């Protein structure tokens, strides 16, 4: 099974991907995570991407499609893929079709997380994650069970993203509206889009997605 999770910044793409990975053994392919890893490792791609990401704008289509292609290349053909934050432009959507075809895969579902943009800023500025294993949390909506200790791995260091400030979030939302939302009709025409209320609580959103996938 291959699925796309679509939605603006803070919609819950990463949160729901992690849950599907745990429950279904699928693999999360997040271009945002791949780019942040490249920035951290100071690779040539990371060096080019850093300023663009910090501004909340989109990195070039060639770079992100190459990252996705390399990840799929290395994946077991039986493992399902969750595309998180990719594709984000019409050019990327066309590239994904080619990449999938090359690997004998096809898209089963595009899940659009429908959210109220006004609530997203609060979600994003409250977000943090485990510095060791990457498990995502939120200051209000998803705190670790034991204060200051990661539920998954027990680490005590956490981190926040440099682009998670209100000004950058506004730019990221504008990019989503201008470049990403317009690709939905491509998938609507294929009859594979399901819309999920992303404002429901985290567990309820997962249940809805599970129902669509099964």
The residues carrying an active-site annotation are 13, 88, 127, 161, 172
* Token reading at 55: 């501004």
Rounded distance, CA 111 to CA 90, Å?
17
Q: Which of Zn ion, Mg ion, ligand AP5, none does residue 11 bind (CB under 5 to 8 Å by kind)?
A: ligand AP5
Angle between helices 31-40 and 61-73 (to 10 degrees): 100
Closest CB to ligand AP5 among 77 and 175? 175
Residue 73-102 contact track with ligand AP5, rule CB under 6 A, x = bound: ------------xx-x---x----------
By the rule CB under 5 A, 56 interacts with Mg ion: no
Give 3's contacts (C-beta < 8 A, 6+ positions apart). Answer: 26, 80, 81, 82, 83, 107, 108, 109, 110, 111, 213
Segment interacting with ligand AP5, rule: CB under 6 A, options 4-12, 93-101, 104-112, 149-157? 4-12
By the rule CB under 6 A, 123 interacts with ligand AP5: yes
DSSP 11: S
Q: Which residue is nearest to Mg ion (CB)?
A: 14
By the rule CB under 6 A, 14 interacts with ligand AP5: yes
Edge-first strand listing for the sheet containing 109-114: 27-30, 81-84, 2-6, 109-114, 193-197
Rounded distance, CA 164 to CA 128, Å?
9
Residue 4-43 contact track with Mg ion, rule CB under 5 A, x = bound: ----------x-----------------------------
Closest CB to Zn ion among 132 and 165? 132
Residue 164-193 contact track with ligand AP5, rule CB under 6 A, x = bound: --------x---------------------
3-state secondary structure 160-181: CCCCCCHHHHHHHHHHHHHHHH
Q: Which of Zn ion, Mg ion, ligand AP5, none does residue 127 bind (CB under 5 to 8 Å by kind)?
A: ligand AP5
User: Can you give the binding site for Mg ion, defined by CB under 5 A?
Assistant: 14
């Amino acid at each position: 099974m291959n699925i796309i999770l679509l939605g603006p910044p803070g919609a819950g793409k990463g949160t729901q991907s992690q849950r599907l990975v745990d429950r279904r053994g699928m693999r999360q392919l997040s271009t945002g995570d791949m780019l942040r890893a490249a920035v951290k490792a100071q690779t040539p791609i990371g060096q080019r991407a850093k300023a663009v990401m910090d501004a909340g704008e989109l990195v070039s289509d060639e770079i992100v499609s190459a990252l996705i292609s390399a990840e799929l290349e290395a994946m077991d053909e039986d493992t399902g893929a969750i595309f998180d934050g990719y594709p984000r432009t019409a050019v990327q959507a066309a590239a994904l079709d080619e990449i999938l075809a090359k690997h004998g895969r096809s898209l089963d579902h595009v899940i659009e997380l429908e959210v109220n943009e006004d609530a997203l800023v609060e979600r994003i500025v409250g977000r943090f994650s485990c510095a060791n294993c990457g498990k995502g949390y939120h200051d209000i909506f998803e705190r670790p069970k034991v204060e200051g200790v990661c539920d998954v791995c027990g680490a005590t260091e956490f981190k926040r993203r440099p682009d998670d400030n209100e000004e950058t979030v506004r730019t990221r939302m504008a990019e989503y509206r201008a470049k990403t939302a317009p690709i939905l009709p491509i998938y609507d025409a294929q009859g594979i889009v399901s819309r999920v209320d992303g404002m429901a609580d985290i567990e309820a959103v997962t249940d809805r997605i599970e129902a669509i996938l099964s």
